[in-house]
Amino acid sequence: MVQINAALVKALRDKSGAGMMDAKKALVETEGDMDVALDWLRKKGLSKAAKKADRVAAEGLVAVRVETRGDGMAAAAVEVNAETDFVARNALFQSTVAEIATLSIDAINIEALKAAQTSAGCSVSNTLTDLIAQIGENMSVRRFATLAVDPGVVAVYVHNAAGEGMGKIGVLVALKSEGDKAVLTELGRKLAMHVAAGSPAPALALSEAGLDRAVVEKERDVLASQARELGKPEQIIEKMVEGRLRKFFEEIVLLKQAFVFDPDKSVAEAIKATETEVGAPVELTGFVRMVLGEGVEKKEEELAAEVAAVAKA
- Mean pLDDT across the stretch 186-215? 91
Contact between 159 and 169 (Cβ < 8 Å): yes
Task: Specify the amino acid at residue 2.
Answer: V
Question: Which of the four pLDDT bands, split at 50, 70 and 90, describes residue 275?
Answer: very high
Contact between 24 and 9 (Cβ < 8 Å): yes
The domain ranges of the chain are 6-47, 59-207+253-292, 212-250
Q: How many CA atoms lie within 13 A of 186 on its CB side?
A: 10
Mean pLDDT of the chain: 86
Exposure string of 9-19, with b = 16+ CB inside 10 Å and e = fewer, is: beebbebbbbb
Note the CATH number of domain 59-207+253-292: 3.30.479.20
- Mean pLDDT across the stretch 166-184? 97
Q: Quick check: pTM over 0.85?
A: no
Look at 308 and 97; give whichever has higher pLDDT: 97
Note the CATH number of domain 6-47: 1.10.8.10
Q: How many Cβ atoms sit within 10 Å of the Cβ of residue 52?
A: 17
| pLDDT digits 0-9 by tens, 205-257 | 999 999 989 988 988 888 888 888 888 888 888 889 888 999 999 999 999 99
- Residue 70, classed as helix, strand or coil, is coil
Question: Which of the four pLDDT bands, split at 50, 70 and 90, describes residue 21?
Answer: confident
Q: Are strands 152-159 and 166-167 parallel, antiparallel or unpaired?
A: unpaired
In this model, does residue 304 exceed pLDDT 60?
Answer: no
Q: Which CATH architecture has domain 212-250?
A: Orthogonal Bundle (1.10)
- Residue 223, classed as helix, strand or coil, is helix
How many percent of the chain have pLDDT more than 70?
87
Look at residue 113 in the predicted model and tell me its pLDDT: 97
